[in-house]
């Protein structure tokens, strides 16, 4: 294990866990081939938590072995079946905890921020706390496409969840144990963060954000950032199909219908001035108008049905 890479996070000798609260805190660490960092992260997390649960997602290195040596409870999946399933396993294993904290295991997150995350849950201000890298503004030293991509995901997540959030992709969060049964854990990839916010919004959880630090120099992610953002965005849109039909159907339907209507007015003006109607563009205008009207009414109908079901509940 590389010396000095993670030990800058080590707190003072007096345990801050005693200063947090007498309630039990469990930290869940999904891990895949993190043997370089997992030992340090487990040791540091134990300073602030009663239990550290490492869910090994089919690692081919010594992640599970080193996590166990550092004092974690280790659960091993036979293959990498995704972060969502790792969370599902971890939340189930955290039975008996009062507060559950999720954190990345690659060393980006500082375990010393755990007291800051759990404080709003302990005080009764929140059911879920999101650690945000951007609460005080976005850094300007990262590539523009990354900042734009993150902003799009944040906006789409807010639309889908109705939860005002500045960092939808943060993996550093705290939950009251009473919330653990409201999450679906269906997302297979990194989209689980947005899915959990959507679930929190639908369940009416009180969500609060606190600022956290992050280390990008230890980023172990091998996933292409553009592909990751597109995958998450598609998942969010798919989720909107049933939860936000006005966004999923009515808004694009209105835009298509408006485009068809504009084309129709243009064709009529040209025809009035002596021009002729071309078959291809005319058929496209008719198609856009029909599809647009159909999608708009479909969204309104589904929205009404969803409202009725909510009322009946």
CATH code at 25-143+164-214: 3.90.550.10
User: Between 7 and 11, whose confidence is greater?
Assistant: 11
Supply angle C-alpha 202, 203, 208, rounded to 5.
Answer: 95
DSSP calls for 42-105: HHHHTTT-SEEEEEEES-SSSHHHHHHHTT-EEEEESS---HHHHHHHHHHHTTT-SEEEE--S
Per-residue pLDDT of 52-91, as tens digits, reads 999 999 999 999 999 999 999 999 999 998 899 999 999 9
Supply 302's token pair: 């589904």
**Cβ–Cβ contacts within 10 Å for residue 265, how many?**
11
Non-local (6+) Cβ contacts of 308 within 8 A are: none
User: Between 238 and 252, whose confidence is greater?
Assistant: 252
3-class SS at 208?
strand
Q: Sign of dihedral through CA atoms 11, 12, 17, 19?
A: negative
Bridge partners of 56, per DSSP, are 31, 76
User: Between 232 and 19, whose confidence is greater?
Assistant: 232
In the chain, how many H helices and how many E strands?
11, 7
pLDDT of amino acid 16: 60
Query: Per-residue pLDDT for 99 more than 50?
Result: yes
pLDDT of amino acid 74: 97
User: By C-alpha distance, which of 177, 180, 130, 176 is closest to 157?
Assistant: 130
> How many angstroms separate the CA atoms of 44 and 52, rounded?
10
Alpha-carbon distances, residue 112 vs 162, 170, 175, 213 (angstroms): 30, 16, 17, 10
Q: Can you give the pTM of this predicted structure?
A: 0.75
Query: Residue 11: which pLDDT band, with cuts at 50, 70 and 90?
Result: very low
pLDDT of amino acid 138: 65
**Considering the chain, what is the average pLDDT of its residues?**
84
Query: Residue 106: which pLDDT band, with cuts at 50, 70 and 90?
Result: very high
Q: Residue 27 is inside which H or E element, if any? A: strand 25-31
Per-residue pLDDT of 255-267, as tens digits, reads 988 998 999 898 8
User: By C-alpha distance, which of 98, 96, 101 is closest to 30?
Assistant: 101
User: Between 246 and 123, whose confidence is greater?
Assistant: 123
Supply 185's token pair: 């854990």
């Amino acid at each position: 294990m590389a010396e000095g890479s993670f030990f800058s996070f080590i707190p003072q000798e007096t345990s801050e866990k005693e200063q947090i609260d007498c309630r039990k805190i469990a930290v869940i660490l999904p891990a895949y081939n993190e043997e370089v960092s997992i030992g340090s992260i487990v040791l540091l997390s134990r300073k602030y938590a009663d239990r550290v649960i490492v869910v090994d997602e089919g690692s081919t290195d010594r992640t599970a072995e080193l996590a166990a040596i550092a004092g974690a409870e280790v659960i091993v999946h036979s293959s990498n079946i995704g972060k969502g399933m790792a969370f599902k396993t971890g939340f189930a294993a955290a039975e008996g905890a009062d507060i559950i904290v999720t954190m990345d295991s690659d060393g980006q997150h500082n375990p010393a921020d755990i007291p800051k995350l759990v404080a709003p849950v302990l005080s009764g201000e929140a059911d879920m706390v999101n650690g945000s890298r951007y609460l005080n503004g976005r850094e300007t030293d990262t590539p523009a496409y990354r900042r734009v991509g993150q902003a799009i995901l944040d906006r789409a997540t807010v639309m889908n969840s109705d939860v005002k959030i500045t960092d939808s992709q943060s993996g550093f969060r705290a939950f009251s144990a009473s919330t653990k049964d409201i999450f679906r854990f269906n997302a297979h990839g990194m989209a689980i963060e947005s899915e959990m916010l959507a679930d929190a919004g639908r369940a009416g959880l009180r969500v609060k954000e606190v600022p956290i630090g992050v280390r990008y120099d230890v980023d172990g992610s091998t996933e292409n950032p553009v592909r990751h953002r597109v995958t998450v965005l598609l998942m969010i849109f798919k989720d909107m199909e049933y939860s936000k039909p006005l966004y999923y159907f009515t808004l694009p339907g209105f835009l298509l219908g408006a485009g068809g209507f504009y084309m129709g007015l243009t064709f009529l003006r040209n025809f009035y001035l002596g021009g002729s109607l071309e078959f291809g563009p005319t058929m496209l205008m008719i198609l856009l108008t029909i599809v647009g009207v159909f999608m708009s009414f479909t969204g309104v109908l589904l929205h009404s049905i969803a409202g009725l079901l909510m009322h009946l509940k």
